[in-house]
Amino acid sequence: MKYYEKQCESISVENTVREIVWSKVVANSAMAAKLLRLHYHDCFVRGCDGSILLDPVQNVTTEKTAGPSRSVTGYDVIDDIKTALEASCPRIVSCADIVALAARDAVSYQFQKEMWPVFTGRKDGNISLATEVGVNLPSANANFTTVLAQFETKGLEIDDVVTLSGAHTIGISHCSLVSRRLYNFTGVGDADPSLDPTYAQTLREICPIPVNATTVLEMDPNSSLSFDSQYFEALNQHKGLFVSDAALLANAQSAQIAQVLQKPEVFFARFARSMVRMGAIEVVTDDQGQVRENCRLPVHKEAQRFYKQANGRDFSWFSPSFKFLFSSDTQFHTIQASAAERNRRQRYRQLRLRQIQYGISKHRPPQLNSLNSLICSIVRLRRYCNSLPPSSPSAPVLPPPFLLHLVPDFHPKNLRSIRI
Ligand code: HEM
């Protein structure tokens, strides 16, 4: 939250982002939902590293071209923010942080105050693969077990699944995504029995056969521009739009959480907590990542030249060897990503989530030592053992005090002083 204060002394990064985002939301109130979804799709694929922003080139398809992310928008808002920040504070503010701040500010406009803290200091990744989207983002037709499992691989818990699904209190979807629920749920021309029959009829009137895939639907009926707890009221009346929404009532524990979240004050507080946790998924900091100058182009020198040229749709001057250099580089990164890098990211993700939890709850995470590792090998006390660092002892190496303001918020030293 203070990460950019000293690095961009001429401007306030957070104010700049807020001013631009609020002006966009004033011009188009649907933008709040777009920016919130953009952040979610960024974080669930390769962590919150701005990888969704990278444009595809030639035969390299990136995240934004993959089916589940094809309807994601808001990239032009991120571009405008980036342009403004590069003009006054070049190559300092990461695209990943801009996405996280923009999502918070877009939702917050309605309340004219910050709805959750955004930790800053994320760096940008330079890999974006369309093939990684489908496996990482839950489908609208997923059952509860699948959705929970997918959230758990991101270090999130059942409470986060239910709470973050409440993001569907704003925004729209399309008839194509619910037509099966309305017309042919089990293949015999029936509707999903878990959907309220009156609501199903209303939806059929909006989405008549033959279903027009481009017809839009509010996800939270009559309240899709207002960020409130009405999604949970509708859900509890069996008016959740997707199978994945309705599935929250299929599990006793999540159904109970969905009951409690009908209270606005509970929903807002829990949503803030879960957004902080989502914003910490597989975050890369310091020299693990880079800061892009243009959020659509990776920093990698050769790749950047390639991408720039690709934008002009002229590949003619690239020698075959140069193309090879680029593609072998991509393959190298892909291989890395699927083995060592994945392990490293997994360990970081767990550690950072713990740091955040402990930062918020004022406690120091327990350190791994022979005694507690012995205890955990015999009796697995779930909360305690899960909170141990993945490998011993990961005490943070702190920079000298005068450099602490350059430390990302995700640093344990900073996290201990942050409260939500
Ligand atoms: C269980 C996991 C989730 C599933 C299956 C899911 C699925 C979907 C689908 C299918 C759409 C409509 C896309 C379209 O018709 O173009 C959508 C929209 C949206 N989702 Fe989710 N989502 C999930 C979780 C989340 C989370 C965690 C967030 C944010 C924290 C979120 C925020 C949104 C928003 C704001 C929209 C509306 C976008 C707009 O108006 O353009 N979703 N989601």
Q: Is 181 in the pocket of ligand 1 (CB under 6 A)?
A: no
- What are the C-alpha distances in Å from 323 to residues 126, 225, 326, 328, 329? 17, 46, 5, 8, 10
**Among the listed residues 289, 285, 269, 270, the one whose alpha carbon sits nearest the alpha carbon of residue 413:** 285
One domain for residues 124 and 166:
no
- Angstrom distance (rounded) from CA 64 to CA 55: 7
| Domain contains 348 | yes
One domain for residues 250 and 297:
no
Q: Is 57 in the pocket of ligand 1 (CB under 6 A)?
A: no
Centre of ligand 1 from the C-alpha of residue 140, in Å: 8
- What are the C-alpha distances in Å from 253 to residues 158, 238, 263, 270, 344? 8, 17, 17, 16, 32
Kind plus residue range of the DSSP H or E element containing 174? strand 172-174
One domain for residues 84 and 71:
yes
| Domain contains 86 | yes
Q: Which residues are catalytic?
A: 41
One domain for residues 259 and 163:
yes
Whether the CB-CB separation of 409 and 418 falls below 8 Å is answered with: yes
Q: Looking at the DSSP assignment, which residues form a beta bridge with residue 57?
A: 60
One domain for residues 96 and 212:
no
| Domain contains 295 | yes
Of all protein residues, whose CA lies closest to atom 34 belonging to ligand 1? 37
One domain for residues 293 and 231:
no
Q: What is the DSSP string of 24-54?
A: HHHH-TTHHHHHHHHHHHHHHTTSSSSGGGP
One domain for residues 260 and 172:
yes
Write down the residue that tokens 């997707």 correspond to.
Answer: 242
One domain for residues 164 and 178:
yes
CA 89 from centre of chain: 25
Q: What is the DSSP string of 306-333?
A: HHHHHHTT--TT--HHHHHHHHHHHHHH
Range of the domain at 405: 341-415
One domain for residues 53 and 112:
yes
- Angstrom distance (rounded) from CA 180 to CA 95: 37
One domain for residues 84 and 20:
yes
| Domain contains 253 | yes
Q: Is 272 in the pocket of ligand 1 (CB under 6 A)?
A: no
In tens digits, the chain (420 residues) has pLDDT values of 678 987 888 889 999 999 999 999 999 999 999 999 999 999 999 999 999 999 998 778 999 999 999 999 999 999 999 999 999 999 999 999 999 999 999 999 999 999 999 999 999 998 999 999 999 999 999 999 999 999 999 999 999 999 999 999 999 999 999 999 999 999 898 999 999 999 999 999 999 999 998 999 999 998 999 999 999 999 999 999 999 999 999 999 999 999 999 999 999 999 999 999 999 999 998 888 899 999 999 876 655 555 455 444 333 333 333 333 333 333 333 334 455 556 666 665 656 555 554 444 434 444 445 555 655 555 555 555 665 555 444 444 444 555 555 677 776 666 655 555
Q: Is 198 in the pocket of ligand 1 (CB under 6 A)?
A: no
Kind plus residue range of the DSSP H or E element containing 181? helix 179-183
- Angstrom distance (rounded) from CA 341 to CA 132: 15
One domain for residues 156 and 266:
yes
| Domain contains 324 | no
Structural domains counted in the chain: 3
One domain for residues 70 and 105:
yes
The CATH number covering residue 249 comes to: 1.10.420.10
- pTM over cut 0.85: no
- Angstrom distance (rounded) from CA 265 to CA 362: 23
The CATH number covering residue 293 comes to: 1.10.520.10
Centre of ligand 1 from the C-alpha of residue 261, in Å: 18
- Angstrom distance (rounded) from CA 86 to CA 102: 16
| Domain contains 80 | yes
Q: What are phi and psi of 119, to 5 degrees?
A: -70, 135
| Domain contains 1 | no
| Domain contains 329 | no
Whether the CB-CB separation of 291 and 299 falls below 8 Å is answered with: yes
Q: What are phi and psi of 172, to 5 degrees?
A: -130, 165
